[in-house]
């Protein structure tokens, strides 16, 4: 895992405080112990929020932030995901890991209510860092690291939301030291099939080009065209993206979620994510099927996010 070693070193140079909402979960405990041992972050393992010395103070703070009753604030602060998010909001932690036993909605909602987005009305999205094994065809691997989005949050994104997802995922790729080459995926390439769904991806690509002329992006594009030189030469000759894409934007959550799990389970990819993009502070989540190593790697990336300027 040559790609991971530099990430570990970046985290080690400036370890951050990472709060784990489910601080008694065995996989979390195993990951946190190894993170501390290697000096990659300072784990904060949340156990019982009601036993925390700032439980009452954070009830009052939640009331101030949300305009809620004391009863509602108390119930929310009893929830470990809400309480951990409050620790992040109040600067008592630098980053947060949510999961791995709670459903996705329970993990993400506290961040939307308390941390909120960097830009008003901006959509949070979930990107997956896919680290491919050496057994994968080098022509398709494009350097061995791909980013998939959105795989976690937006069920049926509009053209505008797709553009936001692509822009944020390109920035995530840049944080990893990659040069983002973005393909907006569909079942058609460069107008080969006219349909409202293919037009949607084409319109999103055009919008990104207008909003972010610094980014290399094309769409709509079939996934084999996006990844493989030989197919790209046939279907989209002359394209600077086709055959070289490393950021894949899926048309909807259904396709993105299925796609990343297929690559993880059948190709043996190492997955880091979901990376929750667009929030004011770094908060990421792990799925219920995650291993302790998955949690370890996500915490490392969360630490790197926390090192970035606000």
Per-residue pLDDT tens over the stretch 259-300: 999 999 999 999 999 999 999 999 999 988 899 999 999 999
Instruction: Report angle CA 134, 138, 141 to the nearest 5 degrees.
Output: 85
The single-letter DSSP state of residue 156 is: S
pLDDT at 310 exceeding the cut of 80: no
Residues 6+ apart with CB under 8 A from 48: none
> Higher pLDDT residue, 24 or 102?
24
User: Given this model, what pLDDT does residue 99 score?
Assistant: 86
The single-letter DSSP state of residue 307 is: H
Same fold, 4-116+279-307 and 125-267: yes
Q: 132: closest CA among 239, 21, 4, 30?
A: 4
Residues 6+ apart with CB under 8 A from 277: 124, 125, 126, 127, 149, 165, 168, 169, 171, 172
pTM above 0.85, yes or no: yes
| CA 256 – CA 181 distance, rounded (Å) | 18
Q: Produce one character per residue of 54-88: b if its CB has 16 or more CB atoms within 10 Å, e if not.
A: bbeebbebbbebeebeeeebbebbebbbbbbbbbb
Query: Over the stretch 74-112, which tens digit does the pLDDT of each residue have?
Result: 999 999 999 999 999 999 999 999 989 988 888 899 999
Largest Cα–Cα distance in the chain? 64
Looking at CATH, the fold of the domain delimited by 4-116+279-307 is given as Rossmann fold (3.40.50)
pLDDT at 184 exceeding the cut of 60: yes
Are 291 and 27 in contact by the 8 Å Cβ rule? The answer is: yes
Please report, for the chain, the start and end positions of each structural domain, with discontinuous segments joined by +.
4-116+279-307, 125-267
Total number of residues shown for the chain: 310
Question: Measured between alpha carbons, how far is residue 154 from residues 30, 107, 127, 221, 273 in Å?
Answer: 31, 15, 11, 20, 15
Question: Measured between alpha carbons, how far is residue 106 from residues 178, 262, 277 in Å?
Answer: 32, 25, 17
Residues 6+ apart with CB under 8 A from 138: none
Q: 296: closest CA among 276, 278, 270?
A: 270
Looking at CATH, the fold of the domain delimited by 125-267 is given as Rossmann fold (3.40.50)
CB atoms closer than 10 angstroms to residue 131: 18
């Amino acid at each position: 895992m040559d790609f991971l070693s530099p990430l570990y070193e970046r985290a080690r140079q400036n370890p951050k405080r990472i709060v784990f909402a489910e601080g008694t979960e065995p996989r979390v405990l195993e990951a946190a112990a190894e993170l501390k041992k290697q000096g990659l972050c300072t784990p904060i393992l949340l156990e019982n929020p009601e036993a925390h010395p700032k439980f009452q103070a954070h009830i009052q703070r939640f009331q101030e932030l949300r305009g809620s009753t004391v009863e509602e604030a108390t119930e929310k602060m009893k929830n470990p995901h809400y309480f951990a998010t409050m620790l992040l909001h109040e600067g008592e932690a630098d980053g947060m890991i949510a999961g791995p036993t709670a459903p996705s909605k329970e993990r993400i909602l506290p961040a939307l209510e308390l941390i909120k987005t960097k830009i008003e009305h901006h959509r949070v999205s979930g990107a997956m860092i896919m680290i491919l094994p050496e057994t994968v065809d080098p022509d398709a691997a494009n350097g061995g690291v791909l980013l998939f989005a959105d795989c976690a949050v937006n069920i049926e994104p509009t053209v505008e939301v797709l553009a936001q997802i692509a822009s944020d995922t390109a920035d995530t790729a840049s944080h990893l030291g990659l040069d983002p080459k973005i393909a907006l995926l569909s079942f058609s390439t460069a107008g080969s099939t006219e349909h409202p769904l293919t037009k949607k991806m084409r319109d999103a690509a055009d919008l990104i080009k207008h909003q972010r002329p610094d980014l290399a992006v094309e769409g709509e594009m079939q996934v084999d065209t996006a990844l493989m030189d030989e197919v790209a030469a046939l279907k989209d000759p002359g394209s600077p993206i086709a055959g070289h894409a490393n950021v894949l934007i899926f048309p909807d959550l259904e396709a993105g979620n299925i796609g990343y799990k297929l690559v993880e389970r059948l190709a043996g990819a190492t997955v880091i994510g979901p990376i929750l993009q667009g929030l004011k502070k770094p908060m990421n989540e792990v799925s219920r099927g995650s291993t302790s190593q998955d949690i370890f790697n996500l915490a490392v990336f969360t630490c790197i996010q926390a090192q970035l300027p606000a």
